[in-house]
């Protein structure tokens, strides 16, 4: 078992190393493509070319492109994302603050999505072709067409402004009390989770219904196994693969959706930082956001791949 898991991990890492290299290279190339320079921050638009050249020399921007890339990538591997053009602050530290906010929301959204998505998907599959199934299909269809910012606005309108059950904006770190922390992230997390709930439920239902049609499941039923045992031993393990894979693809969406929900709920997260830095033209900060989100996505997909290898019998046999 352990060897198989390690093998899956090795294969996934081999798959993700080129992904990481290409993605970070594109991120680095954004600065050259944008033509932005830190000189605009320090000197304004009317700077002389000599002054601009001096500033760019200080930042090491007059070196060859590949030399800049090499030192940038080296810093990246040691955890340094550079300093902001805007205020000279350490980007890693700025991002760490924002990442706590965004990961709280995205993580909680993921939990909600997994709990409700798998609950609805399993229920629909077990009660397939009944009214329960049709009702769940209807609900997931509605959920899937509600963009997160629409849900967010409705939630703010009803639960924060109308009923006053939740705060409408802001963020409180978990170490200042679990209750306030949960209260602040609940509405944004719900807003983000709809898409995950809908896709996971649909994919899980399809996978499980397909598994129920397999001969070995019919065989298990004929052998007199209890429905519960049939479900957990045979149907779930064989039918869960596509749903897990979809979950892996959902994570980038959760991070991306954070940009919008954070704006609605006024949270000082990752997405707000990205939007603000981007509008200021603070290239290193934007690159930092992109690199961190790439890393998060890659790590999350590694986890999903290993889970896939452990859970599904077909993957375990190396099929």
Partner 1 sequence: MLRRVLGLGAGRVALGVLLTVVLLAIFGPLVAPQDPLATSTDLLAAPSAHHWLGTDYLGRDVLSRLLAGSRLSVLGAVEVVAMALVVGAVPGVLSVYLGRAFEWVTLRLVDTLIALPFLVFAVAVTALLGNGIPQAMFVVGLLVSPLFYRVARAATLAVARSPYVEAAVIAGASVAWIVRKHVWGKVLPPIAVALAQTTGVGFVVVASLTFLGIGVRPPAPTWGGVLAADLGFLSYQPYAPLAPIVLIMATVWACNLLADALRDASGVAGRALVLRRPRFSGGSRVKEA
Structure tokens at 3: 């060897």
CB of 225 to partner 1, least distance (A): 27
Residue closer to partner 1 (CB basis): 59 or 181: 59
Q: Would you say how long the chain is, in residues?
A: 319
CB of 240 to partner 1, least distance (A): 11
Task: Output DSSP code: residue 63.
Answer: S
Residue closer to partner 1 (CB basis): 117 or 271: 271
CB of 178 to partner 1, least distance (A): 28
Contact yes or no for 285/301 (Cβ under 8 A): no
Residue closer to partner 1 (CB basis): 9 or 225: 9
In 173-202, which positions are buried (b, 16+ CB within 10 angstroms) versus exposed (e)? eeeeeeeebeebbbbbbbbbbbbbbbbbbb
CB of 284 to partner 1, least distance (A): 11
Q: Beta partners for 90?
A: 83
d(CA 83, CA 175): 28
Signed CA dihedral, 10, 293, 148, 174: sign only? positive
Residue closer to partner 1 (CB basis): 89 or 299: 299
CB of 238 to partner 1, least distance (A): 13
d(CA 54, CA 61): 10
Residue closer to partner 1 (CB basis): 149 or 181: 149
167 phi-psi bin (left φ>0, alpha ψ -120 to 50, beta other): beta
Residue closer to partner 1 (CB basis): 38 or 271: 271
Applying CB under 8 A, the residues found at the interface with partner 1 are: 11, 15-16, 18-19, 22-23, 26, 30-31, 33-34, 36, 141, 144-147, 149-150, 153-154, 156-157, 161-162, 202-203, 206, 210, 241-242, 244-246, 248-249, 252-253, 255-257, 259-260, 263-264, 271, 274-275, 277-279, 281, 283, 286, 289-290, 293-294, 297-298, 301, 304-305, 308-309, 315, 318-319
Residues 6+ apart with CB under 8 A from 70: none
């Amino acid at each position: 078992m352990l060897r198989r898991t390690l093998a899956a991990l090795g294969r996934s890492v081999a798959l993700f190393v080129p992904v990481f290299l290409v993605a970070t290279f594109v991120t680095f190339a954004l600065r050259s493509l944008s033509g932005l320079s830190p000189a605009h921050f320090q000197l304004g638009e009317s700077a002389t070319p000599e002054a601009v050249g001096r500033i760019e020399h200080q930042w090491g921007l007059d070196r060859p492109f590949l030399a800049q890339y090499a030192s940038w990538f080296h810093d990246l591997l040691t955890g340094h994302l550079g300093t902001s053009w805007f205020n000279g602050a350490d980007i890693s530290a700025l991002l760490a603050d924002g990442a706590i906010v965004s990961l709280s929301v995205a993580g909680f959204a993921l939990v909600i999505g997994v709990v409700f998505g798998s609950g609805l998907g399993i229920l629909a599959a077990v009660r397939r072709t009944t009214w329960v199934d049709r009702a769940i299909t209807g609900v997931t269809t509605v959920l899937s067409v509600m963009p997160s910012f629409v849900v967010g606005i409705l939630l703010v309108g009803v639960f924060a402004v109308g009923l006053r059950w939740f705060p409408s904006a802001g963020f409180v770190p978990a170490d200042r009390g679990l209750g306030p922390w949960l209260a602040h992230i609940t509405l944004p997390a719900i807003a983000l989770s709809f898409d995950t709930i809908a896709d996971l439920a649909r994919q899980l239902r399809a996978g499980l219904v397909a598994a129920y049609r397999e001969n070995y499941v019919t065989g298990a039923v004929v052998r007199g196994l209890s429905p519960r045992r049939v479900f957990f031993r045979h149907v779930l393990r064989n039918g869960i693969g596509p749903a897990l894979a979809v979950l892996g693809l959902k994570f980038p969406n959760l991070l991306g959706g954070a940009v919008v929900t954070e704006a609605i709920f006024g949270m000082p997260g990752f997405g707000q930082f990205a939007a603000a830095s981007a509008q200021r033209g603070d290239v290193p900060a934007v690159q930092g956001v992109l690199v961190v989100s790439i890393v998060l996505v890659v790590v999350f997909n590694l986890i999903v791949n290993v889970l896939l290898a452990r859970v599904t019998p077909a993957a375990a046999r190396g099929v």
